[in-house]
A and B are shown apart, each in its own frame.
Chain A
Amino acid sequence: MAPNEIAQKLLLQGAQNAWDMLSEEQSQKHITTGSGDLNGILGGGIHCKEVTEIGGVPGIGKTQLGIQLAINVQIPVDYGGLGGKAIYIDTEGSFMVERVYQIAEGCISDIMEYFPCHHDKSSSGQENLQPESFLAGIYYFRICSYTEQIAVINYLEKFLGEHKDVRIVIIDSVTFHFRQDFDDLALRTRVLCGLSLKLMKLSKSYNLAVVLLNQVTTKFTEGSFQLTLALGDSWSHSCTNRLILYWKGNERCAYLDKSPSLPVASTPYAVTSKGVRDAGSSSCKRVRVM
């Protein structure tokens, strides 16, 4: 067969040539994390069609980042966002609605600040920028066991078929039920691999970002106990990108540990009353909530 015919045959089977992939990637929008520095090390933000794992010690701000992304994905296209909806799968119960409201308000106030002339032109656009509409765009699942976790990931395909505007799926955290209730480690690894493959497939076919929040554990390596993300070594292969949140002195930092196209890098960031922002931003964290 001539080379062209071979290429044609492969294309029919679902392959894509690298040039087309590059132009597709370049036109992809990224989901901003709220912090310019953090977007920088991530190459613009969280990528669609990829699975990103974010892990860190308790209290570092994983849930905060998850909520921030669920809000930021909804930023309208006019203001540089994706204008999509979010699915938030909560396994730990740390999704507190008042905080989501506060972060939505913070996002809206930042949009108003950066685009002051925009909402003069379109008064209808202004009406849409209410915290309530951001909250209405988050589909929330509360998962109480690993069976429910498997069920929801299986169900996602049908759900996404019905709700085509979802652009991010966040699971907070993917670890919790698998650490508590699983005794058979080999089975756990198999189940988790299956889940991550499904999520990868969903992210590619529906063009959405998948963000998995993970916990930490200690591991004995190089002669001492060190912190590492939970769920074991085989799980660490399942994600496309990995971001580790940690304390450096008195600052929160993020370290990009794994990425197919970006170098490892770390940058500080902050969690303020408005949500995740650059470190050293002036907004005071303490504001009365509702």
Chain B
Amino acid sequence: MSLLDAGLATARDAVCRVSEFACPPCQTALALLEERVRLGGGGRLATTLCGLDEALGGGIPLGKLTEVVGPSGIGKTQFCLKLALLATLPECYGGLNGRVVYIDTESKFSSRRMIEIGQKSFPQIFRQEGLAQKMAGRILVMRPASLSDFTKSLEQMKVTLLQNDVKLLIVDSVAAFMSSENERGTTGFTQHPLRWALSFLKSIAELTRIPVVVSNQVRSQSNDDGYHYSFEVKRRGDGDGAERLESHLVAALGIQWAHAVTIRLVFESHSGQRFIKVAKSPMSPAVAFPFIVESSGITLLNDEGIDVSGPEITSIRCQGQNLLGLLPFENRG
């Protein structure tokens, strides 16, 4: 007020007008629904894993941040490779007919493997001349070597996405630049080195209306993780010990990141099988699907899925398999 030498009433009025201007427009939910129907395709990228697509309401949603998290070697990169391929396919085959930006922070991207997935899953398309080359040519792979490279490439991402008709952004994996020391020191109010990148990914998804898929790593539980509220702690005696042992892995990047993603798919293994669990999704039930990794990528063993009740849907297990010793895929022909 003193800056503008204006009275209180004028200042209040100015605040009102600015707020009205700065406020985003209002829409009714019905208008949102009609827009969704009009856009067709349900606004989804189908993963071709029928059970998972049905649980997610058609597939990976556009304009939202989807996270894929699991222990190393379980199949997250295989999943991302298949998604990248699917997005390049023409719409008649269920794709988005566009380019893909694949940010590969751990040098796991293998074009040979992706073509193989394509040939085995869509033999009729890939038999056509030159199509494999065209599809592969639509995937832009970036390999940032450090956190600052990653941040820099993200800053230019908005322009890249809009200029090149990109229909899918994959970051595999977003936790690569986080060391465990970095993370442990950031409980409470975060000075998280990745904080900016994470919120940027989410806003970019909304702005460009494309799906953004990120893969995340796991880390072992530490004493810094809280699990109970103060009112719960009073009642529990010594139950904590038993609970801790059940799930000894947690997703990296902390609870703030867990709140920020819209959909979280947990890949885990136990009892000799691997599962994809829909751990967080505003519109899906809590189900787990057993899967295997074949030459044609990830295949679900059971489209019905298994209902999972309780907090188990968010836990990540890694038992019963020596994942480090496994090949990237089992040759089932």
Cβ of B203: which chain A residues have Cβ within 8 Å of it? Answer: 144
Tally chain A residues at the interface, Cβ within 8 Å.
Answer: 75
Bound form: Cα–Cα A96–B35 in Å: 12
Tally chain B residues at the interface, Cβ within 8 Å.
Answer: 67
Q: Is the CB of A94 within 8 A of B199?
A: no
B173-199 interface bits toward A, Cβ cutoff 8 Å, 1 = contact, 0 = none:
000000000000001111000010011
Cβ of A132: which chain B residues have Cβ within 8 Å of it? Answer: 30, 33
Asked, given contacts A138-B28, A148-B24, A154-B19, whether A179 binds B256 with beta carbons under 8 Å apart, the answer is yes
Q: Is the CB of A180 within 8 A of B195?
A: yes
Q: Is the CB of A63 within 8 A of B18?
A: no
A102 to chain B, nearest CB (A): 7
Asked, given contacts A154-B16, A227-B227, A286-B285, whether A97 binds B24 with beta carbons under 8 Å apart, the answer is no
Bound form: Cα–Cα A106–B158 in Å: 40
B82 to chain A, nearest CB (A): 23
Indicate which residue in A58, A225, A247, A255 contacts B225 across the interface (CB closer than 8 Å): A225
B20-40 interface bits toward A, Cβ cutoff 8 Å, 1 = contact, 0 = none:
111110111110110010000
A-B contact list, 28 entries, CB within 8 Å: A57-B255, A58-B264, A88-B29, A93-B65, A93-B262, A96-B282, A96-B283, A99-B283, A101-B33, A135-B28, A135-B29, A135-B32, A136-B28, A136-B30, A137-B29, A142-B206, A151-B19, A154-B19, A159-B26, A215-B259, A217-B256, A224-B226, A249-B310, A264-B231, A285-B286, A285-B307, A286-B287, A288-B54
Q: Is the CB of B230 within 8 A of A221?
A: yes
Q: Is the CB of B229 within 8 A of A226?
A: yes
With both beta carbons as reference points, the residue of chain A lying nearest to B203 in the complex is identified as A144
Asked, given contacts A96-B61, A215-B256, A285-B285, whether A228 binds B33 with beta carbons under 8 Å apart, the answer is no
Bound form: Cα–Cα A228–B54 in Å: 35
User: What secondary structure prevails in chain A residues at the interface with B?
Assistant: mixed
Q: Is the CB of B42 within 8 A of A140?
A: no
Cβ of B27: which chain A residues have Cβ within 8 Å of it? Answer: 139-140
Contacts between the two chains (Cβ within 8 Å), count: 193
Indicate which residue in A139, A150, A216, A250 contacts B255 across the interface (CB closer than 8 Å): A216
Asked if B311 is an interface residue, CB under 8 A from chain A, the answer is yes
Cβ of B33: which chain A residues have Cβ within 8 Å of it? Answer: 97-98, 100-101, 132, 135
Asked if A218 is an interface residue, CB under 8 A from chain B, the answer is yes
A275 to chain B, nearest CB (A): 12
Q: Which 10 A-B pairs rank lowest in CB-CB distance, beginning with the nearest?
A: A250-B310, A154-B19, A218-B226, A99-B283, A151-B22, A225-B226, A138-B29, A135-B30, A285-B285, A136-B30
A265 to chain B, nearest CB (A): 11
With both beta carbons as reference points, the residue of chain A lying nearest to B57 in the complex is identified as A289
Residues of A86-115 contacting chain B, CB below 8 A? 88, 92-102
Cβ of A176: which chain B residues have Cβ within 8 Å of it? Answer: 259-260
Q: Is the CB of B224 within 8 A of A227?
A: no
Bound form: Cα–Cα A95–B28 in Å: 12
Asked if A257 is an interface residue, CB under 8 A from chain B, the answer is yes
Asked if B223 is an interface residue, CB under 8 A from chain A, the answer is yes
Asked if B280 is an interface residue, CB under 8 A from chain A, the answer is yes
Bound form: Cα–Cα A63–B282 in Å: 7
Q: Which of A58, A250, A273 has the most CB of B within 10 A?
A: A58
B residues with a Cβ closer than 8 A to A are 15-16, 18-24, 26-30, 32-33, 36, 42, 54, 57, 61, 63-65, 187-190, 195, 198-199, 202-203, 206, 223-233, 255-256, 258-262, 264, 279-280, 282-283, 285-287, 307, 309-314
A138-170 interface bits toward B, Cβ cutoff 8 Å, 1 = contact, 0 = none:
111111100110111111011100000000000
With both beta carbons as reference points, the residue of chain A lying nearest to B21 in the complex is identified as A151
Q: Is the CB of A225 within 8 A of B29?
A: no
B158 to chain A, nearest CB (A): 13
Q: Is the CB of A225 within 8 A of B187?
A: yes
A264 to chain B, nearest CB (A): 8
A157 to chain B, nearest CB (A): 8
Cβ of B231: which chain A residues have Cβ within 8 Å of it? Answer: 244, 255, 257, 264
A215-246 interface bits toward B, Cβ cutoff 8 Å, 1 = contact, 0 = none:
11111111011111000000000000000101
Asked if A116 is an interface residue, CB under 8 A from chain B, the answer is no
Not counting A97-B36, A140-B29, A285-B307, a sample of 7 additional A-B residue pairs whose C-beta atoms are within 8 angstroms of each other reads: A58-B280, A215-B259, A220-B187, A225-B223, A227-B228, A246-B229, A288-B54
Cβ of A140: which chain B residues have Cβ within 8 Å of it? Answer: 26-29, 32
Bound form: Cα–Cα A139–B309 in Å: 33
Asked if A64 is an interface residue, CB under 8 A from chain B, the answer is yes
Bound form: Cα–Cα A145–B33 in Å: 24
A56 to chain B, nearest CB (A): 10
Cβ of B65: which chain A residues have Cβ within 8 Å of it? Answer: 93
Asked, given contacts A140-B26, A217-B188, whether A226 binds B228 with beta carbons under 8 Å apart, the answer is yes
Cβ of B199: which chain A residues have Cβ within 8 Å of it? Answer: 180-181
Bound form: Cα–Cα A74–B190 in Å: 39
B197 to chain A, nearest CB (A): 11
Cβ of B285: which chain A residues have Cβ within 8 Å of it? Answer: 273, 285-286
Asked if A185 is an interface residue, CB under 8 A from chain B, the answer is yes
Cβ of B24: which chain A residues have Cβ within 8 Å of it? Answer: 141-144, 148, 152
A282 to chain B, nearest CB (A): 14
With both beta carbons as reference points, the residue of chain A lying nearest to B56 in the complex is identified as A289
Bound form: Cα–Cα A257–B230 in Å: 11
Bound form: Cα–Cα A148–B314 in Å: 32
Indicate which residue in B32, B189, B226, B256 contacts A226 across the interface (CB closer than 8 Å): B226
Bound form: Cα–Cα A107–B261 in Å: 28
With both beta carbons as reference points, the residue of chain B lying nearest to A55 in the complex is identified as B229
Bound form: Cα–Cα A100–B232 in Å: 32
